[in-house]
Amino acid sequence: MSTSAFTPLPDGPLLRTQDVDVVRDGRHLLRGITLAIEPGEHWALLGANGAGKSTLLGLLGAVTHPTRGEVDVLGRRLGRVDIRDLRAHLGHVNPRHPLRSPLTVREVVLTGLTNSIEPDLQKLPGAADLARADRLIDTLGMTPMAAASWPTLSQGERGRALIARALMASPRLLLLDEPATGLDLTARELLLDSLDLLRHQHPELASVLVTHHLEELPESTTHALLLRDGECVAAGKADDVLTTELISACFGHPIRISRQDGRWTARAATRRAPLPGADEALGRAGGAWQR
Helix then strand count (H, E) for the chain reads 9, 12
Closest CA to 181 of 69, 54, 72, 268: 54
Cα–Cα–Cα angle for 173, 99, 43, nearest 5°? 25
Rounded-to-integer distance, Cα 291 and Cα 286, Å:
9
Task: Tell me the per-residue pLDDT of 247-279, one tens digit each, with 9 for 90 and over.
Answer: 999 999 999 999 999 999 999 876 555 555 655
Amino acid (1-letter code) at residue 152: T
Rounded-to-integer distance, Cα 163 and Cα 175, Å:
9
pLDDT bracket for residue 288 (50, 70, 90): very low
- With beta carbons less than 8 A apart as the criterion, state whether 109 and 133 touch: yes
Task: Tell me the per-residue pLDDT of 108-126, one tens digit each, with 9 for 90 and over.
Answer: 999 888 877 666 656 778 8
Task: Tell me the per-residue pLDDT of 135-176, one tens digit each, with 9 for 90 and over.
Answer: 999 999 999 999 999 989 998 899 999 999 999 988 889 999
Global pTM value = 0.83
Give me the phi and psi of 43, to 5 degrees please: -95, 140
- The average pLDDT across 174-190 equals 91
Report for 42-46, 87-91, 154-158: range of highest mean pLDDT = 42-46
Q: Lowest-confidence range among 35-39, 86-90, 154-158?
A: 86-90
Rounded-to-integer distance, Cα 288 and Cα 291, Å:
5
